Amino acid sequence: MSKLLICDNTYLRDNKSDVIKYNEILKLSSFGAGQRINPLDRTNTIVPPYQFNIQFTLPTYHRTTFTYEELCLHRAKQLHTISHDLNKKLLVMYSGGIDSTTVLISLLQTTNNYDHIVVTVNPQSILENPRFYNQHIRNKLQIIHAEELFNVFDSSYMIVGGEFNDQLFGVDFMKRYINMYGIEKLKSTYKPDHIINFFTTFGITQNTAIFWIERLEESIRLHANGCVNTNYDFIWWFNFTHKWQHIYYRSLIYATSELTKHFLDNYYHQFFITDDFQLWSMNNPDQKIGNTWNDYKLAAKKFIYSYTKDDDYYNYKCKRGSLYYVMRQRSTAIAIDDKLNYLHTINSTDYYQPNNSFQ
C-alpha cells in the first residue's frame, strides 16, 4: 500500500489517544492556522501515528562561510542555467512578501534577459509592496495572474517559488512570543519550562507540551550539532525539522494537471530548498532577527535593501502570510500519496500505524 506525502489533517482524526496527542500540537498557530498540516520530523526521531513517506532529511552538518547574499546569487545563476537548458521561461511565484521578493531580485541581478522571467501577480501581491511592483515589475516583466499558476504545473514553464525561507529564519508565532515576553527573552538561553508555558498559551495541555518538548530535545541532541542554544533556536528547530515536507507539497496539491516525477525533478524548483541554504541557517543564528519583530528575516531584508534602497520597507516591513491570498477558496485534493496520486477520499484507518512516538 502507498504512503502519504501530504494530507489535510482534518481527515486524520481517529479517536485514539496517540492521534489526539499528536494533533494537539496543531494549536500552535503556524501548525494550524488553516494549514491543516501534519508535523513530519525529517530527522526521523519522532514517528507520527499515520504512514507518511518522509522524503526530506537534514544535510550533514559542517561549518560554512557563505553569506546569504552569495547563496542567493549562486542559486539564481544555477536556476537560469537550468531554465536555458530546458528552453523554458522562469515563472516566479511572486506574492509580494519578503521571500518571493528575495527570489525575484536574485534572478534579476543575475541576468540581462528580462524576457526570460515571468511573474505571477494578483491584487494582494501588488498591495503588499506597491513600490517594488511599480519600479521593478510593471512594464518591465511579463506577468500572469496568480489564479493561473496552478494551471501551468505542466512543464509550460520552469516554476520557481520562495518556499522554505520561513523555515530558514524561524516561524510566525515568534511574533506572539515577542509580544508576550520581549525579544530579550526570545534570544536568551533555552529554558524548557519557559517554552512549555508558552506552548500552553495556545491551549495545549501542559502534559502534551512536555511530551512534545522532550521529544524535540531528543531530536536536538541527536541532530542539531550544537546549533540550538536559545529559546529562539528551539522554536526555529521545530519549524525547520517538522514543516519541510508540507511546505514542499502544499502548492502542488492545488495543481490541475497530473503530477510526475519528471516535472518535479526538472520544472519545479523551490529557491531556498538547497543544502547550502539550510547549512547557512544552522550556522548563522545571529542573522535571523535583530532587536524587534520588524527585524525578522534580517539577512533577507538587508539583501532586498541592497537592491531597492527602500528605507521604509527595510525599517517597517514585517512578515505576513502572503500565500494564503493565492490559495484561498480553491478546491483541492485531500492528499497526495507517494505514487503521486491525488486522493479525493481517504480512509484514515488504512494509514494508521500503531508503532509511533505517541503511544
Question: What's the pLDDT score for residue 33?
Answer: 43
- Going residue by residue through the chain, which has 359 residues, state the pLDDT in tens, using 9 for 90 and above: 899 999 999 899 999 999 999 998 888 855 544 457 899 999 999 999 999 999 999 999 999 999 999 999 999 999 999 999 999 999 999 999 999 999 999 999 999 999 999 999 999 999 999 999 999 999 999 999 988 888 899 899 999 999 999 999 998 889 899 999 999 999 999 999 999 999 999 999 999 999 999 999 999 999 999 999 999 999 999 999 999 999 999 999 988 888 999 999 999 999 999 999 999 999 999 999 999 989 999 999 999 999 999 998 888 777 665 555 555 556 689 999 999 999 999 999 999 999 999 98
Q: How many domains does the structure of the chain reveal?
A: 1
From CA 231, how far away is CA 173, in angstroms rounded? Answer: 13
Place of cell 501548525: 31
Helix H or strand E segment including 275: helix 275-283
Structural contact between residues 250 and 331, judged by C-beta atoms closer than 8 angstroms: no
Question: What's the pLDDT score for residue 32?
Answer: 47
Going by C-alpha positions, the residue among 142, 334, 337, 178 that lies closest to residue 254 is 334
Question: What's the pLDDT score for residue 15?
Answer: 94
Which one-letter DSSP state was computed for residue 292?
Answer: S
Q: Which of 93-107 are b and which e, b meaning 16 or more Cβ less than 10 Å from the residue's Cβ?
A: bbbbbbbbbbbbbbb
Question: What's the pLDDT score for residue 326?
Answer: 54
Beta strands in the chain (DSSP E): 4-7, 90-92, 117-121, 142-145, 158-161, 268-270, 335-337, 342-343
Residue 42 lies in a domain: no
Residue 44 lies in a domain: no
Report which residue type is found at 106.
Answer: S
Residue 267 lies in a domain: yes
From CA 182, how far away is CA 281, in angstroms rounded? Answer: 23
Residue 305 lies in a domain: yes
Residue 2 lies in a domain: no
Question: What's the pLDDT score for residue 7?
Answer: 94
Residue 310 lies in a domain: yes
Q: Which residues span the domain enclosing 322?
A: 68-331
Q: Which of 140-171 are b and which e, b meaning 16 or more Cβ less than 10 Å from the residue's Cβ?
A: ebebeebeebbebbbbebbbbbbbbbbbbbbb
Residue 250 lies in a domain: yes
CATH number, domain containing residue 273: 3.40.50
Question: What's the pLDDT score for residue 330?
Answer: 61
Residue 286 lies in a domain: yes
Place of cell 502519504: 4
Question: Residues, the chain, total?
Answer: 359
